[in-house]
Structure 1
Amino acid sequence: MSAETPVQSAGTFARLRLRFRDWRGTRPFWAGLFTILGGVPIAYFPYATLKLGTMSLTMATTAGAGSLIIGVLLITLGLTMWFQQATRVFAGVAAIILALVSLVVSNIGGFLIGFLLSMLGGALAVAWVPGKSEETRKGRRAAGKGPKGDGAVEPSSEGPAGETGGTHAPFGTGDDGTAEGVRPEAHNGGYRVG
Structure 2
Amino acid sequence: MTSATAPLWPEGTGLPTRLWRRFTAWRRTRPFWGGLLAILAGLPILYFPYANLTLGGLTMALATTGGAGALVIGLLLIVLGITAWFQPMSRVFCGVGVTILTLISIPVSNFGGFLAGMILGLIAGGMLCAWVPLSPEDAERAEAMIAAGPPVMNHWAADTEQAPAAEAAVEQSTEPVAEQSTEPAVEQSSPQAPSAEQAGGTK
TM tier, smaller: 0.5 to 0.7
Moved over 4 A (4+): 132-135
Q: 2:140 aligns with which of 136, 139, 148?
A: 136
2:95 is aligned with 1:92: yes
Distance 1:135 1:100, change over 3 A: closer
Mapped to 2, the partners of 1:139 and 1:10 lie a distance apart of 20
After superposition, the CA RMSD in angstroms is 2.0
TM-score, length of structure 1 as denominator length: 0.64
Partner amino acid for 2:55?
A: L
Mapped to 1, the partners of 2:113 and 2:143 lie a distance apart of 48
Q: 1:21 aligns with which of 20, 24, 35?
A: 24
SS for the counterpart of 1:57 is strand
2:76 is aligned with 1:73: yes
Partner amino acid for 1:106?
A: S
Aligned pairs for 1:57-72 within 5 A: 57-72=60-75
Aligned partner of 2:128 in structure 1 is 125
Aligned partner of 1:191 in structure 2 is none
SS for the counterpart of 1:56 is strand
Mapped to 2, the partners of 1:52 and 1:129 lie a distance apart of 48
Aligned partner of 2:161 in structure 1 is none
Higher strand proportion, which one?
Answer: 1
Mapped to 2, the partners of 1:52 and 1:10 lie a distance apart of 53
2:117 is aligned with 1:114: yes
Distance 1:139 1:85, change over 3 A: closer
Distance 1:88 1:139, change over 3 A: closer
Q: 1:51 aligns with which of 49, 54, 58?
A: 54
Q: Percent of counterpart pairs with the same letter?
A: 52
Mapped to 2, the partners of 1:10 and 1:120 lie a distance apart of 38
Q: Please list every run of 5 or more consecutive structure 1 residues that lacks an aligned counterpart in the other structure.
A: 1-8, 141-194
TM-score, length of structure 2 as denominator length: 0.61
Q: Compute the displacement of 1:10 (Å).
A: 6.5
Distance 1:138 1:117, change over 3 A: closer
Mapped to 1, the partners of 2:32 and 2:130 lie a distance apart of 12
Mapped to 2, the partners of 1:27 and 1:138 lie a distance apart of 13
Largest Rg, 1 or 2: 2
Q: Compute the displacement of 1:86 (Å).
A: 1.0
Partner amino acid for 1:63?
A: G
Aligned partner of 1:173 in structure 2 is none
Q: Compute the displacement of 1:118 (Å).
A: 0.7
Q: Please list every run of 5 or more consecutive structure 2 residues that lacks an aligned counterpart in the other structure.
A: 1-11, 145-203
Q: Compute the displacement of 1:50 (Å).
A: 1.2
Q: Compute the displacement of 1:135 (Å).
A: 6.8
Higher helix proportion, which one?
Answer: 2
2:51 is aligned with 1:39: no
Partner amino acid for 1:34?
A: L
